[in-house]
């Protein structure tokens, strides 16, 4: 009888993103990370002179066409007095997030480290002079959390030679190549030489960048830190792994990939309170990992650096679920079963896992035809509850009558799952 292929045997189809970077090992094992969108856009928090921004909080300068010199005044009000990097990273640990990506510089050009290239930063123009990149990188290192940096390499709405600001600057006079060589690469050098190991550079919105320019950025990063991963939004099909559209994932992806996910309806802090529940996030994680991908879930701290308490509660509930069921997520690969009506599957070298969203009303969970199982357990806080397994003509059936489903997402661990040769 052919065993269900060990997930380790499921090779990642070669695609332009899955190069041979050895660092992909930690990325594949980590599966779940924290995205942190924080900057001066958290101060207006979606409103400018009483007018709401139509887009997400971090796009307010662009969408309300705020003049750069007016917007840059926000730096003087950047007051992270509630910000504690150890609290933020401890929250990631409690949530079960094993890597963290911080917006070092988003499209508005505000920098969260003492860069020589501009005074529009959390150290120069901001009164408290905090090196946020330094504080978070240190807290991550102390807790064994991989540290990555988001860097907007094409858009910079406060720089005349970058893309994105056509209300202050004349697009016809931009020297984009000069911006990349004289501003972007020197800033990347500051970030990749000043803060120890950087595990990931998360580039974004590569529209308008040439293949040579994307290649030049990848080479620049890997020259400074060869094992630093580069995401797919460096542009032109390059990067160490594929990046999906925001809050989306493909049905049948190949290779290594990651979906960025908002915790509510915006990346940067606003008054949006549409917090995604722990169940919704667990389903997203289950779907992604069952297809061989990662989830980068966002927090948007407020203007003083605090993560909204309603989101903290959901993150801690996710962390509790991963305490119980993390064996089905961390260090697992695509599961052997596709298009399950009731959920998704992942696999480790020893087990196949079923992540069950639609708990059967009748009490039996019918596995795909032709699959036999030696034993099955529901993963719980107390460890696990053994489940009855019986074979029907079509294959294994799990008896769930009287078994309570998990409050977040039920996970069943199968031992000895194998395909039964057709009679």
What is the binding site for ligand JFZ (CB under 6 A)?
A: 56, 58-59, 204-205, 245-246, 260, 267
| Minimum distance from residue 132 beta carbon to ligand JFZ (Å) | 16
The closest alpha carbon to 231, from 263, 275, 280, 198, belongs to 198
| Minimum distance from residue 100 beta carbon to ligand JFZ (Å) | 14
| Minimum distance from residue 247 beta carbon to ligand JFZ (Å) | 9
Nearer to ligand JFZ, 155 or 345 (CB): 155
Structure tokens at 68: 């750069």
Nearer to ligand JFZ, 204 or 413 (CB): 204
| Minimum distance from residue 268 beta carbon to ligand JFZ (Å) | 7
The closest alpha carbon to 46, from 338, 269, 348, belongs to 269
Structure tokens at 35: 């995205």
| Minimum distance from residue 58 beta carbon to ligand JFZ (Å) | 5
| Minimum distance from residue 267 beta carbon to ligand JFZ (Å) | 5
How many residues make up the chain in this entry? 423
| Minimum distance from residue 231 beta carbon to ligand JFZ (Å) | 10
Nearer to ligand JFZ, 55 or 390 (CB): 55
Place of tokens 């722990």: 278
Nearer to ligand JFZ, 290 or 298 (CB): 298
| Minimum distance from residue 230 beta carbon to ligand JFZ (Å) | 15
Q: What DSSP assignment string belongs to 89-109? A: HHHHHHHT--EEEEEEE-TT-
Q: What DSSP assignment string belongs to 286-335? A: HHHHHTTEEEEEEE---TTSPPPHHHHHHHHHHHHHHHHHGGGTTT-EE-
Nearer to ligand JFZ, 59 or 120 (CB): 59
Q: What DSSP assignment string belongs to 40-84? A: GGGTTTTEETTEEPSS-GGGHHHHTT--HHHHGGGGGG---TT--
Nearer to ligand JFZ, 53 or 137 (CB): 53
Nearer to ligand JFZ, 21 or 53 (CB): 53
Nearer to ligand JFZ, 80 or 232 (CB): 232
Q: Enumerate residues 6+ apart whose C-beta is below 8 A from 326.
A: 96
Nearer to ligand JFZ, 37 or 130 (CB): 37
Closest residue to ligand JFZ, Cβ-based?
A: 245
Rounded Cα distance between 259 and 250, Å, is: 9
Answer whether 38's CB lies under 8 Å from 280's CB.
Answer: no
Rounded Cα distance between 227 and 208, Å, is: 27
| Minimum distance from residue 123 beta carbon to ligand JFZ (Å) | 22
Cross-strand partners of 296: 33, 260
Rounded Cα distance between 124 and 105, Å, is: 14
DSSP reduced 3-state for 268: coil
Rounded Cα distance between 124 and 109, Å, is: 14
């Amino acid at each position: 009888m052919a065993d269900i292929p060990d997930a380790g045997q499921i090779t990642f189809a070669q695609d332009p993103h899955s190069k041979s970077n050895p660092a992909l090992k930690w990325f594949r094992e980590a599966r779940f990370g924290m995205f942190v969108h924080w900057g001066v856009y958290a101060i207006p928090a979606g409103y400018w002179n009483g007018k709401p921004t139509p887009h997400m909080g971090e796009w307010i300068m662009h969408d309300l066409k705020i003049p750069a010199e007016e917007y840059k005044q926000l730096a003087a009000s950047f007051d992270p007095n509630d910000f504690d990097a150890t609290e933020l990273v401890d929250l990631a640990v409690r949530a079960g997030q094993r890597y963290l990506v911080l917006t070092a510089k988003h499209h508005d050009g505000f920098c969260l480290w003492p860069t020589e290239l501009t005074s529009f930063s959390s150290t120069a123009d901001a009164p408290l002079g905090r090196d946020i990149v330094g504080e978070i990188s240190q807290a991550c290192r102390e807790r064994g959390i991989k540290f990555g940096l988001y860097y907007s390499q094409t858009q910079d709405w406060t720089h005349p030679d970058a893309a994105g600001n056509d209300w202050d600057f004349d697009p016809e006079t931009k020297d984009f190549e000069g911006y990349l060589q004289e501003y972007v690469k020197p800033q990347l050098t500051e970030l990749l030489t000043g803060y120890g190991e950087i595990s990931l550079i998360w580039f974004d919105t590569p529209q308008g960048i040439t293949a040579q320019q994307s290649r030049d950025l990848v080479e620049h990063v890997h020259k400074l830190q060869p094992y630093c991963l580069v995401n797919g939004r460096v542009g032109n099909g390059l990067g160490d792994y594929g990046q999906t559209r925001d809050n989306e994932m493909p049905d049948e992806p190949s290779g290594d990939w990651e979906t960025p996910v908002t915790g509510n309806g915006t990346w940067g802090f606003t008054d949006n309170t549409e917090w995604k529940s722990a169940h919704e996030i667990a389903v997203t994680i289950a779907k992604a990992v069952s297809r061989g991908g990662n989830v980068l879930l966002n927090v948007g701290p407020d203007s003083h650096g605090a993560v909204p308490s309603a989101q903290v509660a959901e993150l801690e509930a996710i962390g509790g679920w991963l305490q119980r069921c993390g064996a089905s997520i961390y260090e697992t690969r695509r599961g052997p079963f596709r298009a399950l009506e009731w959920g998704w599957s992942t696999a480790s070298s020893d087990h196949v896992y079923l992540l069950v969203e639609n708990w059967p009303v009748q009490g039996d969970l019918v596995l795909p035809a032709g699959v036999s199982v030696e034993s099955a357990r529901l993963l719980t806080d107390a460890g696990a509850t053994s489940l009855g397994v019986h074979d029907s003509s079509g294959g294994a059936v799990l008896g769930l009558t009287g078994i309570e489903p998990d409050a977040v997402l039920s996970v069943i661990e199968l031992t000895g799952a194998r395909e039964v040769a057709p009679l």
